[in-house]
Amino acid sequence: MTPTPSAAAPSAAPAARRVLAQTSFETRAILRNGEQLLVTLVLPVLLLLGLVQTSLIELDTAGASRVDFVTPGVLALACLSTAFTSQAIATAFDRRNGVLRLLATTPLGRSGLLAGKVLGVLAVEVVQVLVIGAVALGLGWRPDVAGVPAAVGAGLLGTAAFTALALLLAGTLRAEGVLAVANLVLVLLVVGGGLLVPPDQLPGPLAHLAAFLPSGALGEALRGALLGTGVPALSVVVLLGWTAAFGWGATRLFRWH
Protein backbone atom coordinates (compact mmCIF):
# COMPACT_ATOMS: atom_id res chain seq x y z
CA MET A 1 0.00 0.00 0.00
CA THR A 2 1.10 3.56 -0.55
CA PRO A 3 0.36 5.92 2.33
CA THR A 4 -0.36 9.46 1.27
CA PRO A 5 2.31 11.77 2.62
CA SER A 6 1.14 14.79 4.53
CA ALA A 7 1.10 18.14 2.76
CA ALA A 8 4.38 19.15 4.34
CA ALA A 9 6.17 15.91 3.47
CA PRO A 10 8.81 16.17 0.76
CA SER A 11 7.62 14.65 -2.46
CA ALA A 12 9.11 13.12 -5.57
CA ALA A 13 9.28 14.69 -8.99
CA PRO A 14 6.78 13.16 -11.47
CA ALA A 15 7.83 9.69 -12.66
CA ALA A 16 8.24 10.79 -16.27
CA ARG A 17 10.60 13.57 -15.26
CA ARG A 18 12.66 11.24 -13.10
CA VAL A 19 13.04 8.66 -15.89
CA LEU A 20 13.80 11.38 -18.43
CA ALA A 21 16.51 12.78 -16.14
CA GLN A 22 18.02 9.31 -15.74
CA THR A 23 17.85 8.69 -19.51
CA SER A 24 19.69 11.89 -20.23
CA PHE A 25 22.23 11.16 -17.50
CA GLU A 26 22.91 7.66 -18.87
CA THR A 27 23.12 8.87 -22.47
CA ARG A 28 25.59 11.61 -21.61
CA ALA A 29 27.65 9.15 -19.58
CA ILE A 30 28.06 6.86 -22.61
CA LEU A 31 28.61 9.58 -25.19
CA ARG A 32 31.26 11.30 -23.06
CA ASN A 33 33.23 8.16 -22.27
CA GLY A 34 36.09 7.74 -24.76
CA GLU A 35 36.35 3.96 -24.55
CA GLN A 36 32.60 3.58 -24.92
CA LEU A 37 32.58 5.82 -27.99
CA LEU A 38 35.36 3.77 -29.51
CA VAL A 39 33.24 0.64 -29.25
CA THR A 40 29.87 2.15 -30.09
CA LEU A 41 30.74 4.53 -32.94
CA VAL A 42 34.35 4.37 -34.14
CA LEU A 43 34.52 0.58 -34.44
CA PRO A 44 31.26 0.18 -36.45
CA VAL A 45 32.14 3.04 -38.79
CA LEU A 46 35.65 1.65 -39.38
CA LEU A 47 34.22 -1.80 -40.09
CA LEU A 48 31.68 -0.29 -42.47
CA LEU A 49 34.38 1.56 -44.39
CA GLY A 50 36.72 -1.41 -44.34
CA LEU A 51 34.16 -3.95 -45.53
CA VAL A 52 32.69 -1.73 -48.23
CA GLN A 53 35.88 -0.18 -49.62
CA THR A 54 38.05 -3.30 -49.53
CA SER A 55 37.42 -6.94 -50.28
CA LEU A 56 39.61 -8.28 -47.49
CA ILE A 57 36.67 -10.38 -46.43
CA GLU A 58 34.90 -12.19 -49.19
CA LEU A 59 31.15 -11.90 -49.08
CA ASP A 60 28.50 -13.50 -51.25
CA THR A 61 26.11 -10.57 -51.52
CA ALA A 62 23.63 -12.52 -53.68
CA GLY A 63 23.50 -9.77 -56.25
CA ALA A 64 23.16 -6.86 -53.82
CA SER A 65 25.71 -4.09 -53.72
CA ARG A 66 28.41 -4.50 -51.08
CA VAL A 67 27.29 -1.47 -49.06
CA ASP A 68 23.64 -2.62 -49.12
CA PHE A 69 24.74 -6.02 -47.85
CA VAL A 70 27.19 -4.82 -45.20
CA THR A 71 25.32 -1.88 -43.64
CA PRO A 72 22.54 -3.91 -41.93
CA GLY A 73 25.22 -6.06 -40.31
CA VAL A 74 27.09 -2.99 -39.09
CA LEU A 75 23.84 -1.68 -37.60
CA ALA A 76 23.41 -5.02 -35.82
CA LEU A 77 26.96 -4.69 -34.50
CA ALA A 78 26.18 -1.17 -33.28
CA CYS A 79 23.17 -2.53 -31.41
CA LEU A 80 25.33 -5.23 -29.81
CA SER A 81 28.04 -2.78 -28.78
CA THR A 82 25.65 -0.36 -27.08
CA ALA A 83 22.97 -2.63 -25.65
CA PHE A 84 25.43 -5.29 -24.52
CA THR A 85 29.11 -4.37 -24.26
CA SER A 86 28.82 -0.75 -23.25
CA GLN A 87 25.81 -1.27 -20.98
CA ALA A 88 27.29 -4.31 -19.24
CA ILE A 89 30.53 -2.48 -18.43
CA ALA A 90 28.82 0.74 -17.30
CA THR A 91 26.32 -1.09 -15.10
CA ALA A 92 28.99 -3.35 -13.60
CA PHE A 93 31.11 -0.41 -12.49
CA ASP A 94 28.06 1.53 -11.27
CA ARG A 95 27.15 -1.52 -9.24
CA ARG A 96 30.63 -1.82 -7.77
CA ASN A 97 30.75 1.90 -6.93
CA GLY A 98 27.38 1.82 -5.19
CA VAL A 99 25.75 4.07 -7.80
CA LEU A 100 22.91 1.62 -8.36
CA ARG A 101 22.19 1.42 -4.64
CA LEU A 102 22.35 5.18 -4.10
CA LEU A 103 20.00 5.94 -6.99
CA ALA A 104 17.68 3.17 -5.81
CA THR A 105 17.24 5.07 -2.52
CA THR A 106 16.17 8.26 -4.32
CA PRO A 107 12.62 8.59 -5.69
CA LEU A 108 13.95 7.18 -8.98
CA GLY A 109 13.86 3.69 -7.46
CA ARG A 110 15.02 0.49 -9.10
CA SER A 111 12.36 0.42 -11.81
CA GLY A 112 13.07 4.02 -12.78
CA LEU A 113 16.77 3.26 -12.92
CA LEU A 114 16.14 0.32 -15.24
CA ALA A 115 13.81 2.37 -17.45
CA GLY A 116 16.41 5.13 -17.67
CA LYS A 117 19.09 2.62 -18.68
CA VAL A 118 16.98 1.07 -21.44
CA LEU A 119 15.93 4.46 -22.81
CA GLY A 120 19.55 5.62 -22.59
CA VAL A 121 20.58 2.66 -24.74
CA LEU A 122 17.89 3.51 -27.29
CA ALA A 123 19.00 7.15 -27.35
CA VAL A 124 22.60 6.14 -28.07
CA GLU A 125 21.36 3.77 -30.76
CA VAL A 126 19.55 6.64 -32.45
CA VAL A 127 22.86 8.52 -32.59
CA GLN A 128 24.56 5.40 -33.98
CA VAL A 129 21.92 4.92 -36.69
CA LEU A 130 22.24 8.56 -37.72
CA VAL A 131 26.05 8.45 -37.95
CA ILE A 132 26.36 4.99 -39.51
CA GLY A 133 23.38 5.65 -41.80
CA ALA A 134 24.90 8.91 -43.00
CA VAL A 135 28.27 7.29 -43.75
CA ALA A 136 26.56 4.38 -45.52
CA LEU A 137 24.35 6.66 -47.61
CA GLY A 138 27.50 8.54 -48.57
CA LEU A 139 28.96 5.22 -49.73
CA GLY A 140 25.88 4.59 -51.88
CA TRP A 141 23.63 2.64 -49.50
CA ARG A 142 20.08 2.27 -50.87
CA PRO A 143 18.04 0.46 -48.21
CA ASP A 144 14.59 -0.93 -48.90
CA VAL A 145 12.47 1.82 -47.36
CA ALA A 146 9.47 -0.52 -46.97
CA GLY A 147 11.61 -2.67 -44.69
CA VAL A 148 12.48 0.11 -42.23
CA PRO A 149 9.60 -0.57 -39.77
CA ALA A 150 10.54 -4.26 -39.66
CA ALA A 151 14.19 -3.27 -39.14
CA VAL A 152 13.22 -1.01 -36.24
CA GLY A 153 11.19 -3.85 -34.72
CA ALA A 154 14.11 -6.27 -35.07
CA GLY A 155 16.44 -3.65 -33.59
CA LEU A 156 14.18 -3.21 -30.55
CA LEU A 157 14.02 -6.97 -30.07
CA GLY A 158 17.78 -7.29 -30.36
CA THR A 159 18.23 -4.39 -27.93
CA ALA A 160 15.96 -6.15 -25.44
CA ALA A 161 17.92 -9.40 -25.69
CA PHE A 162 21.35 -7.76 -25.46
CA THR A 163 20.37 -5.38 -22.63
CA ALA A 164 18.99 -8.29 -20.63
CA LEU A 165 22.25 -10.18 -21.17
CA ALA A 166 24.23 -7.07 -20.17
CA LEU A 167 22.29 -6.77 -16.91
CA LEU A 168 22.62 -10.50 -16.26
CA LEU A 169 26.42 -10.25 -16.47
CA ALA A 170 26.72 -6.89 -14.70
CA GLY A 171 24.55 -8.06 -11.84
CA THR A 172 26.36 -11.30 -11.18
CA LEU A 173 30.08 -10.89 -12.00
CA ARG A 174 32.81 -8.63 -10.64
CA ALA A 175 33.30 -5.40 -12.57
CA GLU A 176 36.73 -6.46 -13.90
CA GLY A 177 35.26 -9.78 -14.98
CA VAL A 178 32.45 -8.04 -16.84
CA LEU A 179 34.96 -5.77 -18.56
CA ALA A 180 36.85 -8.80 -19.90
CA VAL A 181 33.83 -10.93 -20.78
CA ALA A 182 31.87 -8.12 -22.45
CA ASN A 183 34.76 -7.23 -24.75
CA LEU A 184 35.58 -10.85 -25.48
CA VAL A 185 31.96 -11.63 -26.40
CA LEU A 186 31.88 -8.59 -28.67
CA VAL A 187 34.98 -9.73 -30.55
CA LEU A 188 33.80 -13.35 -30.82
CA LEU A 189 30.36 -12.37 -32.10
CA VAL A 190 31.80 -9.87 -34.59
CA VAL A 191 34.08 -12.55 -36.01
CA GLY A 192 31.86 -15.60 -35.85
CA GLY A 193 28.46 -14.55 -34.55
CA GLY A 194 26.72 -13.97 -37.86
CA LEU A 195 26.57 -10.20 -37.46
CA LEU A 196 28.58 -8.97 -40.44
CA VAL A 197 29.05 -12.26 -42.25
CA PRO A 198 25.75 -14.17 -42.57
CA PRO A 199 25.65 -17.44 -40.64
CA ASP A 200 25.49 -19.58 -43.77
CA GLN A 201 28.75 -18.08 -45.06
CA LEU A 202 30.62 -18.92 -41.84
CA PRO A 203 32.99 -21.93 -41.81
CA GLY A 204 32.16 -25.36 -40.35
CA PRO A 205 29.69 -25.81 -37.50
CA LEU A 206 29.37 -22.02 -37.07
CA ALA A 207 27.22 -21.98 -40.18
CA HIS A 208 24.55 -23.90 -38.25
CA LEU A 209 25.21 -22.45 -34.82
CA ALA A 210 25.32 -18.72 -35.58
CA ALA A 211 21.73 -18.49 -36.81
CA PHE A 212 20.63 -19.48 -33.34
CA LEU A 213 22.75 -16.86 -31.58
CA PRO A 214 21.10 -13.52 -30.85
CA SER A 215 23.80 -11.85 -32.96
CA GLY A 216 23.17 -14.04 -36.00
CA ALA A 217 19.41 -13.68 -35.62
CA LEU A 218 19.62 -9.88 -35.43
CA GLY A 219 22.04 -9.74 -38.40
CA GLU A 220 19.74 -11.91 -40.52
CA ALA A 221 16.63 -9.95 -39.48
CA LEU A 222 18.18 -6.58 -40.35
CA ARG A 223 19.61 -7.87 -43.67
CA GLY A 224 16.23 -9.36 -44.55
CA ALA A 225 14.37 -6.16 -43.69
CA LEU A 226 16.72 -3.66 -45.34
CA LEU A 227 17.60 -5.77 -48.42
CA GLY A 228 13.88 -6.29 -49.05
CA THR A 229 14.00 -10.10 -48.80
CA GLY A 230 11.88 -10.22 -45.63
CA VAL A 231 12.68 -10.94 -41.98
CA PRO A 232 13.14 -14.69 -41.41
CA ALA A 233 10.65 -16.05 -38.88
CA LEU A 234 13.44 -18.07 -37.28
CA SER A 235 15.33 -14.87 -36.41
CA VAL A 236 12.33 -13.43 -34.62
CA VAL A 237 11.75 -16.63 -32.66
CA VAL A 238 15.43 -16.85 -31.71
CA LEU A 239 15.52 -13.22 -30.51
CA LEU A 240 12.32 -13.67 -28.51
CA GLY A 241 13.72 -16.82 -26.93
CA TRP A 242 17.00 -15.19 -25.89
CA THR A 243 15.20 -12.12 -24.57
CA ALA A 244 13.01 -14.32 -22.39
CA ALA A 245 15.96 -16.41 -21.18
CA PHE A 246 18.29 -13.48 -20.42
CA GLY A 247 15.44 -11.46 -18.92
CA TRP A 248 14.48 -14.35 -16.65
CA GLY A 249 18.10 -14.81 -15.59
CA ALA A 250 18.67 -11.10 -14.95
CA THR A 251 15.47 -10.80 -12.90
CA ARG A 252 16.35 -13.82 -10.81
CA LEU A 253 20.09 -13.42 -10.38
CA PHE A 254 20.82 -9.68 -10.47
CA ARG A 255 22.49 -8.59 -7.23
CA TRP A 256 22.49 -4.91 -6.27
CA HIS A 257 25.37 -5.23 -3.80
Partner 1 sequence: MPTSPAPNGAAVVVRGLVKRYGGRAVVDGLDLEARAGAVTAVLGPNGAGKTTTVECCEGLRTPDDGTVQVLGMDPVADARALRPRVGVMLQDGGLPTGARAGEMLRHVAAMYASPRDLGELSARLGLGAFAGTTVRRLSGGQRQRLALAAAVVGRPEVVFLDEPSAGMDPQSRLAVWDLVRELRDEGVAVVLTTHLMDEAEDLADHVHVVDHGRVIASGTVRELLDVDAGEAERTVRLDAAPGLDLEAMASALGRGGPDGWVVTEPEPGSYVASGPADARAVAGLTAWLADSGVLASRLTVGRRTLEDVFLDLTGRHLR
Q: In the stretch 4-23, what mask flags binding to partner 1 with x, by CB under 8 A?
A: xx---xxxxxx--xx--xx-
CA distance 25 to 257: 22
**Of 57, 102, 134, 180, the one binding partner 1 by CB under 8 A:** 102
Q: DSSP assignment, residue 41?
A: I
The 10 Å CB-count burial string (b at 16+, else e) for 205-220 is ebbeebbbbbbbbbbb
Minimum Å gap between C-beta 253 and partner 1 is 17
Minimum Å gap between C-beta 147 and partner 1 is 37
Is residue 232 a contact point for partner 1 (CB under 8 A)?
A: no
To the nearest 10°, the Cα dihedral for 9, 15, 17, 19? 130
**Of 89, 108, 185, 196, the one binding partner 1 by CB under 8 A:** 108
Is residue 252 a contact point for partner 1 (CB under 8 A)?
A: no
CA distance 85 to 56: 26
Contacts of residue 197, Cβ cutoff 8 Å, sequence gap at least 6: 57, 59, 73
Q: Residue 131 or 175: which CB sits closer to partner 1?
A: 175
Taking CB under 8 A as the binding criterion, the range among 28-36, 120-128, 155-163, 192-200 that sits at the site for partner 1 is 28-36
**Of 45, 49, 64, 99, the one binding partner 1 by CB under 8 A:** 99
Minimum Å gap between C-beta 4 and partner 1 is 8
CA distance 113 to 212: 31
Contacts of residue 17, Cβ cutoff 8 Å, sequence gap at least 6: none
Contact residues for partner 1, defined by CB under 8 A: 1-5, 9-14, 17-18, 21-22, 25, 28-29, 32-33, 93-94, 97-99, 101-109, 256-257
